[in-house]
């Protein structure tokens, strides 16, 4: 339906973990995975995708691991999610293989596109540092109805 994939979820956990252990040692996939009870293999895959998008940087070799590549305030939830699951598109209009058959007649396409924009803007408003803070100042997001 409308759910974050578990991989993206794990990605956010990992990035937040790295943000918290900033300036300390580089965290290995195993370390993070064990901390939250997630399969090491899976966490490794997630971190690899994040590394490919330059959200985290990897350090090979013994006592290696991952480090945040940017400031926590410069990493948005959208960055993490789309790094792992690809672009966020709420409709199937233009997807991987073949677009929707109803596309030409469809009358909700354009309205939904605007809803999609709004969700994108929500997701790109909240950053990792937002997710670490305690105080929660409301922010206004513009929504094109």
From residue 81, alpha-carbon distances to 6, 84, 95, 130 in Å are: 10, 5, 17, 16
Which residues in 104-123 contact ligand SF4 (CB under 6 A)? 106, 108-109, 112
Cβ contact 65:56 at 8 Å: no
* Contacting positions for DNA (CB under 7 A): 1, 3, 5-7, 28-30, 39, 41-42, 44-45, 47-48, 51-52, 58-66, 85, 95-97
- Identify what 78 binds: a second copy, DNA, ligand SF4, none; CB under 5 to 8 Å per kind: none
**Of these partners, a second copy, ligand SF4, DNA, none, which one is at the site of residue 62 (CB under 5 to 8 Å by kind)?**
DNA
Contact status, residue 130 vs residue 105, Cβ threshold 8 Å: no
Among 54, 64, 71, 103, binds ligand SF4 (CB under 6 A): 103
* Helix (H) or strand (E) segment spanning residue 32: helix 29-36
Nearest to 142 by CA among 104, 115, 103: 115
* Chain positions contacting ligand SF4, by CB under 6 A: 9, 91-93, 100, 102-103, 106, 108-109, 112
């Amino acid at each position: 339906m409308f759910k974050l994939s578990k991989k993206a979820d794990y990605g956010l956990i990992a990035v937040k973990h790295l943000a918290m252990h900033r300036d300390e040692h580089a965290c290995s996939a195993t370390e993070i995975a064990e901390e939250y009870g997630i399969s090491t293999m899976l966490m490794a895959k997630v971190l690899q995708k994040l590394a490919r998008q330059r959200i985290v940087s990897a350090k090979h070799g013994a006592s290696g691991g991952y480090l945040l590549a940017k400031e926590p305030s410069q990493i948005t939830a959208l960055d993490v999610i789309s790094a792992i699951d690809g672009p966020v598109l709420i409709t199937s209009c233009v997807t991987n293989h073949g677009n929707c058959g109803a596309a030409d007649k469809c009358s909700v396409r354009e309205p939904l596109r605007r809803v999609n924009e709004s969700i994108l803007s929500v997701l790109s408003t909240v950053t990792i540092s937002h997710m670490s803070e305690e105080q929660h100042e409301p922010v206004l997001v513009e929504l094109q109805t």
